[in-house]
Structure 1
């Protein structure tokens, strides 16, 4: 998987307008999608075990240099693994299950509880 990670002074978070720590472009079946690590918007992320250490790294380090690059790379890799997992919102999942159940009922003619 080819991932493009960047830290550009001109990047802004599309949600809050704050400067993000970094952005990444991830491949998807339809092309690419962008993900942004924003200190404001991602501070209370459900993926806290990967986001919190990465946000802490950016709070403690002014720049990526040879001495801390391996640590940063490991944190970014963990974050990208988390954000690249497909997720289905609960409401969408429930709707898909209801639709599947209706199809199953109509196929065999019986009613399911």
Structure 2
């Protein structure tokens, strides 16, 4: 079977992580692969922010929970008030994909990356 198709078919969403940090080599390869994603008009205006610092990850999670707690959406409120909720499932590395909102397709570029 074609290796790319085999990889696509074996992809899974993971929501349980170990505390083991990924290697710098693997993180670099992941970020490099993301830069090859298609982008509107080839502008590649995305940004990748990799966070591996435990204190920063915890602070980010608390800020997100605070925003959720203020939401009008009951599901988000529940998560915002939960002691155990973690928006990144306690992964030791979080990559945030963001973009300049100057083009209407910016969010789609992020999704592709």
Q: Which structure's CA Rg is the greater one?
A: 1
* Structure with more relative contact order (C-alpha pairs < 8 Å, separation 6 or more): 2
TM-score normalised to structure 1 length: 0.23
Task: Report the structure, 1 or 2, having the larger strand content.
Answer: 1
TM-score, normalized by length of structure 2? Answer: 0.23
Q: Which has the higher helix share?
A: 2
